[in-house]
Structure 1
Amino acid sequence: MMILKTLLDTGTRLDIISVRRFNKIFREYSGTMGPLESAKKAAAYKAIDEYVKDNNVIGIGSGSTIIYAVHRLAERVKEEKLNVVCIPTSFQSRQLIVNHRLTLGDLETHPKLDCAIDGADEVDSELNLIKGGGGCLLQEKIIASCADHFIVIADYTKNSQRLGEQYKKGIPIEVVPMAYVPIQRRIEDNYGGSLEIRMAKAKAGPVVTDNGNFILDWHFPHEITDWNKVNTEILLIPGVVETGLFIKMAKKAFFGMADGSIMEQS
């Protein structure tokens, strides 16, 4: 059970939770977490400790592992009196920044970032990523592209030799709503596999991103190997806004392992 679920089970909404309340739940939960959550925490702490310095501008990613990263960042800011500006990739990460009383910024005032720290749905042996399981792929890729160093934090289940080995939910593709059917058919005709429009769970109809778009999840053929070529070609299809393929963008990945150790990939 993840810490985010724990927060929800207590009846506390993440967007209104106080820092004191969050820290209390975090400490209680940290003492009883299983190997998967311990792995996420270890990877997040390692990245924050190694890559965050005073007077840095940091991109803050989305997802369950980022909760640990923001908590560690808040600890360091308080203990070391760091001057750090945080640029969020999503509503979730914005609320985490605000609730931890960290300095919130944006790309208008800080277009160049020292590093961006984010999770991933899967990382292959060449540091290619699948991201976007939470629907924030466009913002995440923009932030990552503005950073001098894009650092990935994940648990051991996200580490694969090739894409699709571990992650079975497909590659997210954010599309303009009016074009989703032609895009779906074109990708299936050109590359194979199948695409499904992502449907919402708490509302009728498709998931709508923060940018007002739909998401197609592409269950791709496993024989694809040239992801740079495929990604470039898909991005040229009219109506495609962005893909969840992050190709040659990550500088390093920290994987928390089940035994508490950290595996680094660069």
Structure 2
Amino acid sequence: MSSELSANDRAKNAAARRAADFVKDGMRVGLGTGSTAAWLVKCLGERVRDNGLKFRGVPTSTRTAELAREVGIEVITLDEAGWLDVTIDGADEFDGDFNLIKGGGGALLQEKIVATASDKMVVITDPAKEVASLGKFPLPVEVIPFGMRTTKTLIEDALGSMDVSGRDVTLRMNGDAPYVTDEGNHILDLHLGRIGNARQMALTLNQLPGVVENGLFIDVCDVVVIGHSDGTVDLRDITSTMAKQARPSTEKNENLFTDLDG
């Protein structure tokens, strides 16, 4: 089976299988949306069928809900779950601080709500999604249909003062008609090239009238699982990463207080 997959699908499958290990009996689990998340749902379905795994899943889109039911996963709503043990989802981009761009699949609003309502968010991805600075992938912004042109203008004006490389804003289409989210909204894709300050961008966008939510996931992700085409997997945990970044260098002098002598 794996030999018949493309290199990209082998990487996604490897990441999904490793991330499935985070799901234990009795858990309430957020199930992401997109091609990589679909691999996860199928892997979990196998464990439900073959190993008797018992958990309840909260899908982040109608597409994911349909797939989860097909593979035998018990599906509940977020209101029924109350709070989640873990959410596992894909990402369009991630940086060294575990900040993400999501929403390429059009489900960013439900994805962000579900991820935020979880004790842990695990992102499954491949090496091509890692970037030094977010923004190469167009940033999705969900907007209400009413006054959408005005909202688009407000976004364009706001981008004028932001540290970005591009400022093109396009309406996402589904054939000849605007793409419609599960909540009945539309998506504007911001082609920025590079986002100098992702946190500022997220806050600014969500203050604009007509904007429902944006695809920047800041301080949400806890673990990144990176699958490779050869079946190997890298696992990065935000706790250990932050510890490494904060650890002072003592190569030159083991006594950190030497220079503090009066």
Question: Could you say which TM-score interval applies, normalised by the shorter chain?
Answer: 0.7 to 0.9
**CA–CA distance in structure 1, aligned partners of residues 106 and 185 of structure 2:** 10
**Are 2:134 and 2:198, in contact at CA under 8 Å, matched by a contact in 1?**
no
Amino acid at match of 1:206: P
Identity of aligned residues (%): 39
Partner of 2:158: 190
Query: How far does residue 221 in structure 1 lie from its aligned partner after superposition?
Result: 5.2
Aligned-partner Cα distance in 1 for 2:228–2:135: 20
Distance (Å, rounded) in 1 between the aligned partners of 2:39 and 2:125 = 11
In the alignment, what sits opposite 1:244? 215
Which residue in the other structure is 1:140 paired with?
111
One of 188, 210, 230 as aligned partner of 2:201: 230
CA distance in 2, matches of 1:250, 1:80: 28
CA RMSD of aligned residues (A): 1.4
Matches within 5 A, 1:35-184: 35-49=7-21, 51-165=22-136, 167=137, 170-184=138-152
Partner of 1:217: 189
Does residue 1:254 correspond to 2:225, yes or no?
A: yes
**Aligned AA for 2:149?**
V
* Equivalent position to 1:200, from 136, 158, 174: 174
Q: Distance in 2 between matches of 1:162 and 1:262?
A: 23
2:242 — aligned with what? none
Q: How far apart, in 1, do the equivalents of 2:148 and 2:83 lie?
A: 33
Q: Determine helix, strand or coil for the equivalent of 1:108.
A: helix
- Classify the secondary structure of the residue corresponding to 1:196: strand
AA in 2 matched with 1:140: E
Segments of 5+ residues of structure 1 without an aligned counterpart are: 1-27
Tell me the equivalent position of 2:234.
Answer: 263
Cα distance in 1 between the residues matched to 2:33 and 2:219: 20
| Distance verdict in 2 for CA 1:187–1:221, change over 3 Å | farther
Find the aligned partners of 1:258 and 1:48 in 2 and give their Cα distance. Answer: 18
Tell me, in whole angstroms, the C-alpha distance in 2 between the residues paired with 1:200 and 1:67.
21
The structure number with the bigger radius of gyration is 2
**Alpha-carbon distance in structure 2 between the residues aligned to 1:190 and 1:107:** 33
Counterpart for residue 23 of structure 1: none
C-alpha distance in structure 2 between counterparts of 1:58 and 1:100, whole Å:
15
- Contact 2:155 2:208 survives alignment (8 Å): no
Alignment partner of 2:53: what SS?
coil
Deviation at 1:179, TM superposition (A): 2.6
Please give the secondary structure, in 1, of the residue aligned with 2:109: helix
Deviations 1:214-240 (A, max 9, x none): 110011252x32211210111011111
SS of residue in 1 equivalent to 2:103:
coil
Aligned residues: 231
Q: Could you say what secondary structure the match of 1:143 adopts? A: helix
8 Å contact 2:101–2:134 — kept in the other structure?
yes
For the residues of structure 2 that align with 1:42 and 1:110, how far apart are their CA atoms? 28
Counterpart CA distance in 2 for 1:85 and 1:149 is 16
Q: TM-score with structure 2 length normalisation?
A: 0.84
In structure 2, C-alpha distance between the alignment counterparts of 1:67 and 1:131, rounded to whole Å: 15
Shift of 1:159: 1.4
Query: Alpha-carbon deviation of 1:190?
Result: 2.1
TM-score normalized by structure 1? 0.83
